[in-house]
Structure 1
Amino acid sequence: MPAIYDKYVDIKYINMKGFEKLNFSNATVDQIFTSSFDICVQFGIKLVIALLVLFVGKKIINYLNKIFVTLLKKKEIEPSVESFLRSLVNISLTIVLSLFVISILGVDNSSIIALLASGGVAVGFAISGTLQNFAGGVMILLFKPYRIGDYIEAQNQGGTVKEIQIFNTVLITADNKTVYIPNGGLATGVVTNLSRQENRRLEIIIGVGYGQSFDRVKLVIEKILNNEPKVLKDPEFLVALHKLNSSSVDIVIRAWTKKENYWDVYFNLNKQIYEIFSKENIDIPFPHMTVHMAKKL
């Protein structure tokens, strides 16, 4: 062996878990390499154990979540509260598992807590939005501006509430997209709940040509409304002259229907009006341009 390996290396202090029991003062390079290899092997074993615990822990968490959901269903908890509690329990168990895995790797949890405490202000700013979303979720559950299954419009989005999680509310849009909206904005912003009331009023504005008799057009529309079984008779529908527009006389139709029949009635009335107006020779104007050709001198 070359002479250089017989020389001693003077290492006064190394602050690393696993090295503190070893005396590196006047240690040879071979001894340092041997000790380092042993520590790497020990860490590798810990890493394998940690990964195994993580895998088994996730399985256990999934099993506990299923048991928890079963208990909530037996207690007939409201779906909105059930969704929130399920999300809360899942996140709490995941945090506990993460801390346990970190401790297996040899990282002292107290040092992590001390690090978080020392950077408390920065952490506070970083998670302020998350805490706001959590508080918003609690407020939503307390005041219930909407429930699972309601159709709402908020934050420039609209859809059916599928789930109220600990930080987000999940919507399914009409075209089957999944939208996640933070609870903080929903708790402090404007939310339109289209499912809260039993009945909804639809409004259709139809333009007819100048020269058409309003009374005749009104009778035709009223007949269409009376023949539509899903239009409610109480409250009564309204047919009125809405506006004298630049190229048409606008007639407004306001009718009430059950919330679940809203779009069926809306589309069917438009179809009936178009077909019957054509049969009754009621003109529906559309934008057009008249061009006058000047004669050459």
Structure 2
Amino acid sequence: MENITQWITNNQDLIIEYAIKGVVAIIILLAGLFVARLATGMLGKAMRKRDTDNAVISFLSAILKTVIVIAALLMALSHVGVQTTSFIAILGAAGLAIGLALQGSLSNIASGVLIILFRPFRAGEYVDAGGVSGSIEEINIFQTIMKTPDNKVVFVPNAQITGSPITNYNREELRRIDMVIGVSYSANLQKTKQVLMDVITADERVLKDPAPVVTVTNLNSSSVDFNVRPWVKGPDYWPCRWDLLEKIKDRLDQEGIGIPFPQMDVHVKKDT
């Protein structure tokens, strides 16, 4: 204990000097965090004024914040007395080794940049990407956050998204509803076609241009199949589809047009 007390007494100036440097380094680091928050806030505000997509804002803000925090950390270490040149060299070598070990993570970062550049989807759009269907919530450095229709939040790696086909259901204003309606072979085809056309054109959500189409598409083993293809606006797709299926079934029942279930006729031939 006496040795420790004597050492502190003999090195008071050195302790005070490093204590001051340590306090200043902490202040620099805290100032860096404050500047990072302020800069990302200003960036987000400026980009929102230009109606920039929220997913792009969150991605660029995350990159800007990371750069500012790293710069503040290097300044703080330099003030304490750490040789940042050597530190940067060591950090570069370590970064290379870590990069080789974390190729998947770097791939996610590169994929995130590609998503931001080419913008195959925007925040709020409903897409099928990376094997997941849902609305885009946010694009981060490593992953894209999606919300499914049953309100589950899914974190999909960016590399998984860019490495597979992307289907965007909201990019176009109009969508076509594709329904296959099978009817009995005993049904009058012209009457059935007219009934189906009457049902879909009676719905106000079905557009006149492009015109709806009703055609015979296949002669199956137990039914004659009709392709029923009306066009609607994107938000009306699912409500209109559900309503039309119900109305078509009711109308076919009223007209006495049967919808057969899969069946097979077996003919037994007896030798005499």
Class of the TM-score when normalised by the shorter of the 2 chains:
0.7 to 0.9
Specify which of 195, 203, 213 is matched with residue 220 of structure 1. 195
Specify which of 220, 224, 241 is matched with residue 245 of structure 1. 220
Instruction: State the partner residue of 1:78.
Output: 52
Instruction: State the partner residue of 1:196.
Output: 171
Instruction: State the partner residue of 1:206.
Output: 181
Specify which of 216, 220, 245 is matched with residue 270 of structure 1. 245
Which of these two proteins has the greater Rg computed from alpha carbons? 1
For normalisation by structure 1, the TM-score amounts to 0.70
Structure 1 position 69 matched with structure 2 position 19: no
Instruction: State the partner residue of 2:137.
Output: 162
Give the drift of 1:91: 2.6
Alignment of structure 1 residues 44-55 onto 2, 5 Å: none
Q: Which amino acid aligns with 2:105?
A: T
Q: Is the 8 A contact 1:151 1:193 kept in 2?
A: yes
**Counterpart Cα distance in 2 of 1:247 and 1:266:** 25
Give the drift of 1:220: 0.9
Give the drift of 1:52: 9.3
Structure 1 position 140 matched with structure 2 position 115: yes
Larger mean CA deviation between 144-153 and 113-122 belongs to: 113-122
Give the drift of 1:133: 2.5
**Counterpart Cα distance in 1 of 2:245 and 2:22:** 67
Specify which of 253, 257, 265 is matched with residue 282 of structure 1. 257
Instruction: State the partner residue of 2:104.
Output: 129
Instruction: State the partner residue of 1:233.
Output: 208
**Counterpart Cα distance in 2 of 1:127 and 1:34:** 49
**Counterpart Cα distance in 2 of 1:66 and 1:119:** 32
Report the number of matched residues: 259
Give the drift of 1:129: 2.8
**Counterpart Cα distance in 2 of 1:283 and 1:234:** 31
Distance 1:281 1:47, change over 3 A: farther
Give the drift of 1:271: 1.1
Instruction: State the partner residue of 1:15.
Output: none
Distance 1:187 1:287, change over 3 A: closer
Give the drift of 1:259: 1.3
> Deviation per CA, 1:67-88, whole angstroms, max 9, x where unpaired?
43223334x1511432322221
Identity of aligned residues (%): 35
Q: CA RMSD in A?
A: 3.8
Secondary structure of the residue aligned to 1:212 is: coil
Q: Is the 8 A contact 1:116 1:123 kept in 2?
A: no
Distance 1:203 1:49, change over 3 A: same
Q: Which amino acid aligns with 1:180?
A: F
Question: Structure 1 stretches of 5 or more lacking a match?
Answer: 1-28, 291-297
Ranked by relative contact order (alpha carbons within 8 Å, sequence separation 6 or more), the top structure is 2
Specify which of 147, 152, 161 is matched with residue 186 of structure 1. 161
Instruction: State the partner residue of 1:24.
Output: none
Q: Is the 8 A contact 1:198 1:258 kept in 2?
A: yes
Give the drift of 1:32: 7.7
**Counterpart Cα distance in 1 of 2:227 and 2:131:** 27
Alignment of structure 1 residues 8-157 onto 2, 5 Å: 31=3, 61-74=36-49, 76-79=50-53, 80-96=55-71, 113-119=88-94, 121-157=96-132
Instruction: State the partner residue of 2:148.
Output: 173
Give the drift of 1:96: 4.3
**Counterpart Cα distance in 1 of 2:191 and 2:171:** 37
**Counterpart Cα distance in 2 of 1:103 and 1:288:** 82
Q: Which amino acid aligns with 1:78?
A: T
Q: Which amino acid aligns with 2:142?
A: F
Q: Is the 8 A contact 1:204 1:253 kept in 2?
A: yes
Q: Is the 8 A contact 1:148 1:162 kept in 2?
A: yes
Distance 1:278 1:100, change over 3 A: farther
For normalisation by structure 2, the TM-score amounts to 0.75
Q: Which amino acid aligns with 2:241?
A: Y
Distance 1:208 1:107, change over 3 A: farther
Give the drift of 1:258: 1.0
Give the drift of 1:209: 2.2
